[in-house]
Amino acid sequence: MTEHNQNDVLHDQSSEVVDSDNQESRLMAMLIYLLSLFSGFIGPLIIWIIKHKESRFVNKAGKNYLNFVISYTIWTIIILVVMLVPFFIGLSMGTDTSMTVGFIIYIIGFIIMMVLAFVSFIFTIIACVKYYNGNEYLIPLSIRFFK
């Protein structure tokens, strides 16, 4: 084997190690989002805590996931308040008009919450694919608490 061929073999082996490391980082980053579908935020949090020092990519994915979870929790609370306050005010006033308006606002809020849940699911799947392919993804409407 010539010296040139030996260098090519060594170069190929080192690139495999790098690719495997990148593959592991991409897999862990993808698992952060995939596990959230089955375990809520506990599974992703455990992966992030264990792996965030080993890979910047996993660290960024974990931070983006936490931003997503905190943000969507805030959006859900806001929708609940906007949905329930008029509903209970309408009930307490006792008039047909106020109860009807409160009920309509409640139904609209419920529909918005269902849309938010569906969109959250879709964005989680998109994040899984993006991170597995090695691309960072910040889910829309996420507030950046962790950078």
∠ CA 94-96-101, rounded to 5°: 95
Q: pTM score, two decimals? A: 0.75
User: Could you tell me the residue ranges of all domains in the chain?
Assistant: 1-133
Please write the tens of the pLDDT for every residue from 46-59. Answer: 999 998 888 899 99
Tell me the pLDDT of the chain averaged across its residues: 83
Please write the tens of the pLDDT for every residue from 1-15. Answer: 444 444 444 333 333
Contact status, residue 145 vs residue 67, Cβ threshold 8 Å: yes
DSSP state of 138: P
For residues 18 and 145, the model is more confident at: 145
